[in-house]
């Protein structure tokens, strides 16, 4: 019996010694690789629907933090009047955000082009990424092969009219209420009817800066089947005869004014105050926000495609998603990708993110707006989405040249003169 007890003790001693030898000393563990280390990230969000609403964004971040408690994200909310300048200055100051929410025209054609962004190609290997529409994928990819954006939502921008004002002026006859489309001739006649009715301002071509400039671009290019760039996105065609004809029409048409002192936000505000009969910067998200911000809005807002001379309208598409700035920290970049994966690879989180934007998914999936009459109404514009040309080289300079050209025209500069020196991508 004693021999048996001694043998057992010996075996236990050997086992204990073996476990001690196999365990590495505590000081040899590299804590910097510990995924439980807290990481502080910053997210800067342009007002993409309710992504500009702190309460809505906080709900998304809270859900993310429950699954990834070591990643803490603080948010700064930008606007389109000063956002570009804010980001550019932050980069120069070495204080760029980790994450940013916007579109390819900024993330790919501007900040990506300047070498400020992290390549997100590895995020495009997921099953969900494989379901993203090809044209959306192409817009997020730089010519160098890198993906500087991972998209979450898309929309087709449109315009809007004051339905009550059009009715009272006898101008409803010039629109197709079923398809929400109209012709260039119908647009001219509607403006003339509104002016005869006594409405001094039928519509405003805002051109204080580049905010919301997709509206004025689509207005001009649709009127006479013009284009903003060539098909291969290598050069700008702003000075085409079709575009100059459209600009001349707008300048000469009584009731339409060029306003270099007004931004798109100002134009939206004036429309909601019934000081103008139509607004050239509109979409579903704007409609929702204005309904919330203007509870006393007492007329029917009727969304419309831009008028054309007979062809199907080609609306300016919007794509929004996340980019990651290269701040020299691989750990922060990977944590930022973790957030993007959470948003885009979890169906519940993705649906919530898209619904927060008040836009539509960038991949084929079931209707996420069932029983939502407003979103159903705006879905009619999605098939009208035209070429996404905002990734043409030199896009940032082109956008600036556009609103400056509009301002010159409004000040009386000859139209051909105003657009002749439009910048080359070179």
Residue 424 pLDDT class (50, 70, 90 cuts): low
DSSP line for 11-48: HHHHHHHHHHHHSPPGGGS-GGG-TTS-EEEEEEE---
pLDDT digits (tens, 9 = 90+) for 91-105: 999 999 999 999 999
pLDDT digits (tens, 9 = 90+) for 346-380: 999 999 999 999 899 999 888 899 889 999 899 99
* Structure tokens that stand for 237 in this block: 């065609």
User: What domains sit in the chain, N to C, each tagged with a CATH number?
Assistant: 38-156+318-380 (3.40.190.10), 158-315+394-419 (3.40.190.10)
pLDDT digits (tens, 9 = 90+) for 181-221: 999 999 999 999 999 999 999 999 999 988 889 999 999 99
Q: How far is residue 117's CA from residue 364's CA, in Å, rounded to a whole number?
A: 28
Residue 315's pLDDT is what? 95
Tell me if residue 346 falls in helix, strand or coil. Answer: coil
Alpha carbons within 13 A on the beta-carbon side of 3: 0
Overall size of the chain counted in residues: 426
Residue 296 pLDDT class (50, 70, 90 cuts): confident
Give the pLDDT mean for 282-289: 91
DSSP line for 304-329: EPPPBSSSPP-BPEEEEEEEEB--S-
**Cα distance from N-terminal residue to C-terminal residue, the chain:** 94
**pTM for this entry:** 0.78
Q: How far is residue 159's CA from residue 272's CA, in Å, rounded to a whole number?
A: 13
Residue 36 pLDDT class (50, 70, 90 cuts): low
257 in Cβ contact with 204 (< 8 Å)? yes
pLDDT digits (tens, 9 = 90+) for 298-336: 999 999 999 999 889 999 989 999 999 999 999 999 999
């Amino acid at each position: 019996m004693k021999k048996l007890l001694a043998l057992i003790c010996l075996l236990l001693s050997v086992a204990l010694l073996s476990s001690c030898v196999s365990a590495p000393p505590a000081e040899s563990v590299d804590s910097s690789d510990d995924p439980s280390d807290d990481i502080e990230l910053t997210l800067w969000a342009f007002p993409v629907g309710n992504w500009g609403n702190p309460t809505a964004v906080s709900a998304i971040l809270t859900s993310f933090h429950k699954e990834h408690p070591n990643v803490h994200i603080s948010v700064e909310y930008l606007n389109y009047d000063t956002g570009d300048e804010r980001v550019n200055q932050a980069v120069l100051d070495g204080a760029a955000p980790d994450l940013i929410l916007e579109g390819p025209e900024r993330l790919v054609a501007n900040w990506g082009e300047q070498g400020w962004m992290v390549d997100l190609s590895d995020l495009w290997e997921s099953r969900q990424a494989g379901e993203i529409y090809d044209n959306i994928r192409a817009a997020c990819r730089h010519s160098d092969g890198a993906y500087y954006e991972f998209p979450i939502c898309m929309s087709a921008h449109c315009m809007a009219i004051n339905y009550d004002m059009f009715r009272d002026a006898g101008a409803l006859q010039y629109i197709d209420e079923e398809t929400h489309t109209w012709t260039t001739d119908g647009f001219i006649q509607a403006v003339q009817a509104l002016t005869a009715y006594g409405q001094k301002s039928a519509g405003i071509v805002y051109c204080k800066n580049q905010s919301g400039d997709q509206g004025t671009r689509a207005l001009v290019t649709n009127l006479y089947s013009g284009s903003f760039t060539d098909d291969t996105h290598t050069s700008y065609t702003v000075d085409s005869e079709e575009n100059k004809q459209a600009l001349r029409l707008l300048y000469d048409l009584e009731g339409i004014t060029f306003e270099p002192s007004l931004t798109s936000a100002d134009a939206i505000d004036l429309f909601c105050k019934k000081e103008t009969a139509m607004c050239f910067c509109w979409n579903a998200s704007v409609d929702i926000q204005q309904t919330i911000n203007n509870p006393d809005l007492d007329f029917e807002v009727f969304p419309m495609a831009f008028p054309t001379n007979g062809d199907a309208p080609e609306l300016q598409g919007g794509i929004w998603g996340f980019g990651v700035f290269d701040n020299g920290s691989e750990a922060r970049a990977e944590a930022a990708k973790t957030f993007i994966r959470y948003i885009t690879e979890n169906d519940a989180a993705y649906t919530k993110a898209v619904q927060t934007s008040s836009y539509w998914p960038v991949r084929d999936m079931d209707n996420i707006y069932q029983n939502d009459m407003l979103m159903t109404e705006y879905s009619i514009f999605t098939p009208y989405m035209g070429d996404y040309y905002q990734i043409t080289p030199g896009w940032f300079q082109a956008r600036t040249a556009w609103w400056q050209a509009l301002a010159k025209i409004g000040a009386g500069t000859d139209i051909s003169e105003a657009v002749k020196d439009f910048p080359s991508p070179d």
